[in-house]
Amino acid sequence: MAKFFSRIPFALTTSVALALAVGLLSAGAATTSTKGTKKKSTVAKKRATGAKSTGAKAAAKAAPKASLVTPAKPAPPKAAPAPTTPAAIAAANKRLRVARGGGWVQTWDEPTYKDSTSGDNTVGEDVVVRAAAVQALGGLNGSIVVADPETGRILTIVNQQLALGGGFQPCSTVKVSVALAALHEDLVKRVSPIRFYSKGSLDLTDALAFSNNGYFANLGIKLGYEKYSYYAKLFGYGEKAGLNIEGEHPGYFPPAPPQNGGMGMLTSFGEEISQTPLELAGLIASIANGGTLYWLQYPQSQDEIRNFQPQIKRRLDIGKLIPTIKPGMKGAVEFGTARRASFEQDETILGKTGTCSEGRTHLGWFGSFNETSGRKLVVVVLLTGGKPSIGPMASGVAGEVYKALASKNFFRVSAPLTPATILPR
């Protein structure tokens, strides 16, 4: 649609090894070789406690050898009782992610389909938004967070146990914060390409739209850990996004570049970062509203709704950068990795997908907001499970949320939200 969106003439790679290699060659840097080794995520061990990671390698070293090596002729094991409670199932899945599931045939340990609404407390939620989100998610295993970017009020959380937990690897959604940091440091402009192949280059718009790993690996190397760490924490990584939300756990940001891939992997795949859906919602909301990072609030009673007042966490100096980053986020939906979000869509949507694996769990992210003359919303989708759990699918789920709400004329509200207008209908 927009003529200024450029197209890339060469195939993009999503390979972790190639992305890192390209980034390092371009920057003239050298990192520890990862040849012959598998990508080892260290995030899973940090989720429940928020404690500092010691890495998946240390976890494997500490585990008994018998749990990692299958004997040639093992004795028939006694059948262990299957976990029955959600907490027990989550703990079992966590152990499998850390141990890498030696001997298992399946390629993931999280189910792709489940009742994601089980156990949710919906008191205080917007019933129209809740219904649209539940319908869009369907039987998929995942979470949806919908928030008002102008106030920080959360309108619904589907699968609250997942959304309020310690988070997952952000995958390529981390590229939004990397782009903002690089723009603020004047390392790149939207129309200024960064060369990462000898045969071609990309500008920021296409790199965001197509989620190019080599481009952002280069940016990470140029930024360096100290600078990117400063911006990432400013944008909310490693801290709670909500204000007094019961059960919320903070995400995690590593104290040093990850051993697996260094800055290239940190800034292209979010290696060793643990991001919660609420953290991503807060960051996307700050882009949607012009630079204000609100405390996300989740009213749970009629009194809390009536007395609701927006609370500012901090103001981000990104107002001048937002017009530069928007074309890439819009391009992702119009012609890039998030095209499923635009299917039969009346709303103009901007967003960023993320696809990767954490241990034996496939992850699909999509953080987005709509641009309209009426009401704006932030919609964040996280899918977990098997290979269908990918960013493009997450974008399609978000697109269904926007489409359902548009059919209810939800966005045709020009007046600012007040306690009277945000009462559940």
Lowest mean pLDDT among 31-45, 236-250, 374-388, 406-420: 31-45
- 149: in domain: yes
Q: What are phi and psi of 378, to 5 degrees?
A: -105, 130
Inside any domain, residue 100: no
Most confident segment among 191-195, 264-268, 420-424: 264-268
pLDDT in tens, 236-263: 999 999 999 999 999 999 999 999 999 9
Q: Per-residue confidence at 381, pLDDT binned at 50, 70, 90?
A: very high
Task: Give residue for tokens 């700050």.
Answer: 286
Per-residue three-class SS string for 298-349: CCCCHHHHHCCCCCEEEECCCCCCHHHHHHHHHHHHHCCCCHHHHCCCCCEE
Q: Identify which of 173, 197, 213, 195 has the alpha carbon closest to the alpha carbon of residue 17.
A: 213
**The pLDDT of residue 204 is above 70:** yes
Please check whether residue 317 lies inside any domain of the structure: yes
In a domain, 339, yes or no: yes
Confidence grade of residue 284 (pLDDT, cut at 50, 70, 90): very high
Closest among 213, 273, 256 to 24, alpha carbons compared:
213
* 99 within domain boundaries: no
Flag whether 388 is in a domain. Answer: yes
**What's the length of the chain?**
425
Does residue 383 contact residue 348 with C-beta atoms inside 8 Å? no
Q: Alpha helix (H) ranges present in 200-260?
A: 204-209, 213-234
Range of the domain at 162: 107-170+240-252+276-407
What's the CATH number where 298 sits? 3.40.710.10
In the chain, the N- to C-terminal Cα span, in Å, equals 37
Contact 270, 178 (CB under 8 A): no
Instruction: Indicate whether 219 belongs to any domain.
Output: no
Please state the domain count of the chain.
1
**For residues 370-387, average pLDDT:** 93
Residue from 398, 382, 375, 177 nearest 293 by CA: 177
All residues at 6 or more sequence positions from 51 whose CB lies less than 8 Å from its CB, including other chains: none
- CA dist 405 and 369 (Å) reads 13
Question: Residue 284 and residue 275: Cα distance in Å, rounded?
Answer: 13
Residue 125 vs residues 67, 228, 302, 419, 422: alpha-carbon distances, Å: 44, 36, 10, 13, 9
| 59 within domain boundaries | no
